[in-house]
Amino acid sequence: MTDDRRSAGAPTLEDVARAAGVSRATVSRVINGVRNVDPAIQEVVRQAVSVTGYAPNRAARSLVTRRADAVALVVSGAGVEAEAEAGVGAEAEAGSGAGRAGGGSRATTGGGGSFTAQVFADPFFGRVVTGVVDYLRPRGMHPVLMFAETSRARDEVVAYLRQGSADGALVVSTHAEDPLPGLLTEAGLAAVLFARPARPVPISYVDLAHQDGARLAAEHLLARGCRRPATISGPLDVPAGRARLTGFRDTLARHGHAYIPVAEGRFTQESGEAAMERLLAEHPDLDGVFAANDLMATGACHVLREHGRRVPEDVAVVGFDDSSAALACRPPLTTVRQPVEAMAAEMARLLLDRPPGPSSPATSVIFEPELVVRASA
């Protein structure tokens, strides 16, 4: 854009100095947070800034403070070099088949379309944005939204952080094989992940006690009197997918259920429908289903209804996440709540509150799930 447009009538540092009755240098020191300025003078300058509507040029201030006051919110995938050649246009991974989520329970392979389109088809990402924004806003900071599903896009993210355009990265990984966490730690850049990385990398993260969540689901189905429970798992190459299956199976085993039918899904509604069809075909007498996220549980409810099974009378269904999909489903889903907004806010807090210095150790914060009982089980 042209500078004329931006600076049309914009108040200057001189205007502030004049209004405050102090020198330009004093205004500059107050604005840039230099210490040893008389508090009374600081207040006068702040009022003058407010009255004049002066907005310091952020680029200039960044040079002084060495802070961008911005955070990169990165949704990353696992595209490799060859896919990057297909362009940043981003349909590179649409055809890659298995949709794997790096740790949480978000669907990333809907009916094709660009990576960005697939990402936002899942209510999970909106909740992450909500949590991040609600934490950053009161601090005068904003998230820069970036996507990194190809090699080229990952390089862009690393370069963006290196050049100081953001004060660190909040990363939501959609694939178990995502190389971005490793690239960020190698480059010595500040970053926090949503969910434990599938490969061990010394990087901070927030996560949920997934096994505990699955235990809550199993105990609820047992308490309802379910005798033949089955499960639609998430992708099993993902820590969260495996942990939810393990937690469900282990709890039922402790109650004498030696064998639990499993159909693997990909955290999408369609994969939940397909998995439910398989389970019904092989185990027509099942009376309870734990789906590892709400979208798959919604798909399961659709298929059960099409087969004339009533939910919850004939088959009880429990989801996972407590996303907007749980409320939109008919019947509304009994589900295991993952406090995504609070987890995302904590991710931002970990990034911004970390001790200074290049070698602060990686840390983790694990949240506890909660059972939310509605109509489906």
Near a copy of itself in 199-228, by CB under 8 A: none
Least spacing, CB of residue 220 vs a copy of itself, in Å:
22
Binding string, residues 268-297; x marks residues near a copy of itself by CB under 8 A: -x----------------------------
Provide the minimum distance between the beta carbon of 165 and a copy of itself in the complex, in angstroms, as a whole number: 4
Between residue 114 and residue 143, which ones bind a copy of itself under the rule CB under 8 A?
A: 114, 116-117, 119-121, 123, 125-127, 129-130, 133-134, 137-138, 140, 142-143
Comparing CA positions, the residue from 308, 265, 316 lying closest to residue 290 is 316
Under the criterion CB under 8 A, does residue 373 sit at the interface with a copy of itself? no
SS3 49: helix
Give CA separation, 265 vs 46, 282, 297, 321, in Å. Answer: 56, 16, 10, 15
Name the minimum Å distance from CB 301 to a copy of itself.
Answer: 9
Residue type at 145 in one-letter notation: L
- Between 55 and 94, how does the x/- string for binding to a copy of itself read (CB under 8 A)? xxxxxx-xx--xxx-x--x-------------xxxx----
Quick one: tokens of 217? 């689901």
What is the rounded distance in angstroms from the CA atom of residue 267 to the CA atom of residue 292?
7
x/- site string to a copy of itself, residues 304 to 323, per CB under 8 A?
Answer: -x------------------
Q: Which of residues 34-53 bind a copy of itself (CB under 8 A)?
A: 53
CA distance 69 to 177: 30
13 sits near a copy of itself (criterion: CB under 8 A): no
Amino acid at 374: R
Of 102 and 110, which has the nearer Cβ to a copy of itself? 110
Q: Report the C-alpha gap between 371 and 333 in whole angstroms.
A: 11
Using the structure block, give the residue that is written with the tokens 């235990």: 215
Rounded CA separation 287/315 (Å) = 4
Cβ atoms of residues 110 and 208 within 8 Å: no
Among 5, 35, 97, 256, binds a copy of itself (CB under 8 A): 5
Q: Which CB atom, from 59 or from 258, has the smaller least distance to a copy of itself? A: 59
Q: Is 374 helix (H, G, I), strand (E, B) or coil?
A: coil
